[in-house]
């Protein structure tokens, strides 16, 4: 398992600030256009972006704490704040989707409302182009580097761009249909698009919330667990240990790994330097040590200690 090198904290924070600036532009555009055009779908997109801005500010603060490293109060660092922040973000976005779904359903049942289709499509298209440009920019900036915060942000921009294109096509389609069949469709287009947007977006924050809760509840990631167990087994067999056990925990980018190696009664461990070489061999097999990876390797001849 080869670990990506950690991103430079200063670069991570600089990219997050640029992301916030771009998100503010989109939020202002969508909220203003939503109010002027009386479009619930565009207004919802703007409110969704505002929540994302607030959470990106929080991510910027968490990034600063992680860069600061451990201290006497948080002796393993601040990695645990990443999944906590992700869970809050997912919960807020999931609730906003539920609210939008109820609002859209109410609009359909009450007869809809008039929304100029082509201006709404133009706003959604501009929104999509900005979002896709930001997604590409962030993806290129973090290529080959480890940053869950920026990876999540780039994914959010890509999703926002895709849905912006869908919104533009839906409004444009409604406007074209009106030209053929009259204005009936446009009355329901905005509420219908809002419902579809909420239903399509909802699984994303729900999945984000579930993944974050796995970290918060200290559920061992299956891939990390299997990788650590494999490396421990290989090293144990190579150096004559009769058994091994491994334990893993993940919190955001933080990985906490403990390995116990059981020696036979007649085992001659050699010097401390020899044992440190075995530790280094395990670390290399796991992709090396680095910020956020805590590795403990214990040697014992008593099975109770592993």
pLDDT of the residue at 166: 79
- 9-217 sits in which CATH class? mainly alpha
Helices (H) and strands (E) in the chain, counts: 9, 3
- CA dist 129 to 148, 162, 188, 197, Å? 24, 9, 26, 18
- What confidence tens digit (pLDDT) does each residue in 221-250 have? 999 999 999 999 999 999 999 999 999 998
User: Using alpha carbons only, what angle is made at residue 74 by residues 72 and 80, rounded to the nearest 5 degrees?
Assistant: 170
- What confidence tens digit (pLDDT) does each residue in 148-188 have? 677 777 877 887 888 788 788 878 877 776 665 555 666 77
- DSSP assigned state of 115: -
Q: What is the CA 80 to chain-centroid distance, rounded? A: 14
222-305 classified as CATH 3.30.70.1350: yes
pTM (predicted TM-score):
0.72
Q: What ranges do the domains of the chain cover? A: 9-217, 222-305
CB 255 within 8 A of CB 293: yes
**29: alpha, beta or left, given left = phi > 0 and alpha = psi -120 to 50?**
alpha
pLDDT of the residue at 177: 67
User: How far is 266 from 301, CA to CA, in rounded Å?
Assistant: 9
CB 178 within 8 A of CB 185: yes
Name residue, tokens 């207004």.
43
For residue 170, give the H/E element and its range: helix 148-181
pLDDT of the residue at 183: 57
pLDDT of the residue at 201: 81
φ and ψ of 159, to 5 deg? -65, -45
User: Within the chain, which residues score under 70 in pLDDT?
Assistant: 1-6, 112, 144, 146, 148, 177-186
pLDDT of the residue at 1: 44
User: How far is 173 from 84, CA to CA, in rounded Å?
Assistant: 41
Q: What is the CA 73 to chain-centroid distance, rounded? A: 26
Paired strand residues for 300: 262
How far apart, in Å, do the first and last CA atoms of the chain sit?
24
298: nearest Cα among 254, 263, 249: 263
CB 294 within 8 A of CB 257: yes
CB 127 within 8 A of CB 29: yes
């Amino acid at each position: 398992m080869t670990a990506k090198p950690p991103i430079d904290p200063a670069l991570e924070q600089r990219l997050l600030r640029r992301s916030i600036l771009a998100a503010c532009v989109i939020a202002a555009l969508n909220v203003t256009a939503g109010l002027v055009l009386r479009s619930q779908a565009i207004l919802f997109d703007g409110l969704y972006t505002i929540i994302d801005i607030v959470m990106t500010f929080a991510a910027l603060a968490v990034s600063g704490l992680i860069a600061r490293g451990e201290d006497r109060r948080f002796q393993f660092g601040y990695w645990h704040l990443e999944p906590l922040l992700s869970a809050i973000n997912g919960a807020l976005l999931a609730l906003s989707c539920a609210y939008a779904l109820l609002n859209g359903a109410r609009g359909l049942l009450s007869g809809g409302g008039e929304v100029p289709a082509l201006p709404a499509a133009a706003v959604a298209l501009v929104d999509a182009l900005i979002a896709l440009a930001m997604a590409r920019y962030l993806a290129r900036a973090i290529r080959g580097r480890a940053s869950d915060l920026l990876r999540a942000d780039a994914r959010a921009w890509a999703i926002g761009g895709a849905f912006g294109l869908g919104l533009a096509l839906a409004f444009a389609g409604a406007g074209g249909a009106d030209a053929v069949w009259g204005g009936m469709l446009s009355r329901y287009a905005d509420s219908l698009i809002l419902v579809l947007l909420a239903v399509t977006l909802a699984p994303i924050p729900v999945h984000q919330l579930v993944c974050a809760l796995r970290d918060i509840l200290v559920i061992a990631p299956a891939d990390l667990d299997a990788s650590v167990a494999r490396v421990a087994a290989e090293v144990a067999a190579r150096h004559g240990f009769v058994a091994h056990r491994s334990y893993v925990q993940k919190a955001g980018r933080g990985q906490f790994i403990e390995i116990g190696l059981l020696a036979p009664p007649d085992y001659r461990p050699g010097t401390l330097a020899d044992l440190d070489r075995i530790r280094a061999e395990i670390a290399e097999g796991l992709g090396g040590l680095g910020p956020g990876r805590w590795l403990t390797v214990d040697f014992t001849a008593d099975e109770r200690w592993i």
